């Protein structure tokens, strides 16, 4: 059975970051550029490339930075 290009790219990403995803959709979405016309395996389109994951990542980063800041006890 032939391996499709999507699986090949996701496996390559997993090798580079040393992490194996439980499903391909998040990894596939992360690989897409804004405005991508790629689709999830269920046929749903990615309308904004990886914007959804970028917003999530930005929020998580802000939370981690605030947590570190609060632990210092400093007001600024």
pLDDT of residue 11: 92
pLDDT of residue 56: 81
Percent of the chain residues past pLDDT 70, beyond the cut: 78
Backbone phi, then psi, for 44, in 5-degree steps? -75, 135
Q: Which two tokens stand for residue 37?
A: 């016309």
40-71 per-position pLDDT tens digit: 656 666 666 677 777 887 888 889 899 888 88
Reported pTM: 0.57
């Amino acid at each position: 059975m032939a391996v499709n290009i999507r699986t090949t790219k996701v496996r390559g990403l997993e090798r580079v970051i040393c992490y194996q995803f439980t499903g391909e959709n998040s990894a596939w979405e992360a690989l897409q550029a804004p405005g991508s016309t790629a689709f999830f395996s269920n046929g749903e389109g990615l309308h904004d490339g990886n914007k959804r994951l970028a917003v999530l990542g930005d929020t998580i980063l802000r939370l981690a930075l605030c947590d570190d800041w609060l632990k210092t006890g400093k007001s600024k």
